[in-house]
Structure 1
Amino acid sequence: MEQTLSRTESSEAVSDAGWRFLLGTLRTSVPVGSLAEGAQIASRAVEVGGEYADQHLLVDLRPSRVILTLQSREHAAVTTRDVELAHQISAVVEEAGSRTDPDLSPEAPRSVQFLEIGIDAMDIAAIRPFWKAALGYAPEAEADGPTDPLIDPLGQGPAIWFQQMDHPRPQRNRIHLDISVPHDEAPHRLKAALAAGGRLLSEVRAPAFWVLADPEGNEACITTWQGRDN
Structure 2
Amino acid sequence: MSEAVLTRQQASEAVTGHGWRFVLGSLCTSVAVSSLAQAAEVAALAVAAAGRAAEERLLLDLRGDRVLLTVQVPGAMRVTGRETELAVRVSAALTEAGHTTDAVGGPRRAVQLLEIAVDALDIAAVRPFWLAVLGYAEVGDDPGAAVVDPYGQGPTVWFQQMDRPRTQRNRIHLDISVPHDEADRRVAAAVAAGGRVVYDKEAPAFRVLADPEGNEACVTTWLGRD
TM-score bracket relative to the smaller structure: over 0.9
Structure 1 74/133 Cα, relative in aligned 2: closer, same or farther at 3 Å? closer
The offset of 1:74, in angstroms, is 6.1
* Equivalent in the alignment of 1:8: 9
1:181–1:224 Cα contact (<8 Å) kept = yes
- Aligned letter for 2:130? W
1:71–1:79 Cα contact (<8 Å) kept = no
Structure 1 198/74 Cα, relative in aligned 2: closer, same or farther at 3 Å? closer
Structure 1 76/195 Cα, relative in aligned 2: closer, same or farther at 3 Å? closer
Larger mean CA deviation between 220-229 and 131-140 belongs to 131-140
Structure 1 distance, partners of 2:105, 2:184, is 11
Instruction: Kindly provide the CA deviation profile for residues 42-99 of structure 1, in whole angstroms up to 9, marking residues without a partner as x.
Output: 0011011111111110000000100010012165521211111111111111111111
Instruction: Kindly provide the CA deviation profile for residues 194-216 of structure 1, in whole angstroms up to 9, marking residues without a partner as x.
Output: 00000110101110111000000
User: Structure 2: which 5+ residue stretches go unaligned?
Assistant: none
1:119–1:160 Cα contact (<8 Å) kept = yes
- Aligned letter for 1:49? A
1:55–1:74 Cα contact (<8 Å) kept = no
Superposition map of 1:87-98 within 5 A = 87-98=88-99
The offset of 1:139, in angstroms, is 2.3
Structure 2 distance, partners of 1:221, 1:91, is 34
Instruction: Kindly provide the CA deviation profile for residues 101-149 of structure 1, in whole angstroms up to 9, marking residues without a partner as x.
Output: 01255xx221100111000000001000110111111123xx3311111
- The DSSP-based 3-state class of the residue aligned with 1:190 is helix
Structure 2 distance, partners of 1:79, 1:149, is 21
* Equivalent in the alignment of 2:199: 202
Superposition map of 1:81-120 within 5 A = 81-103=82-104, 105=106, 108-120=107-119
* Equivalent in the alignment of 2:66: 65
Structure 2 distance, partners of 1:40, 1:67, is 13
* Equivalent in the alignment of 2:79: 78
Structure 2 distance, partners of 1:151, 1:72, is 13
Q: Which runs of 4+ in 1 moved over 3 A?
A: none
Give the fraction of aligned pairs with identical amino acids, expressed as a percent. Answer: 59
1:198–1:215 Cα contact (<8 Å) kept = yes
* Equivalent in the alignment of 2:146: 149
- The DSSP-based 3-state class of the residue aligned with 1:134 is helix
User: Structure 1: which 5+ residue stretches go unaligned?
Assistant: none
Larger mean CA deviation between 48-57 and 214-223 belongs to 48-57
TM-score by length of 2: 0.96
1:104–1:185 Cα contact (<8 Å) kept = no
Residue of structure 1 aligned with 2:158, choices 156, 161, 167: 161
Is 1:127 paired with 2:130?
no
Structure 1 distance, partners of 2:209, 2:75, is 34
Structure 2 distance, partners of 1:24, 1:47, is 23
Q: How many residues align?
A: 225
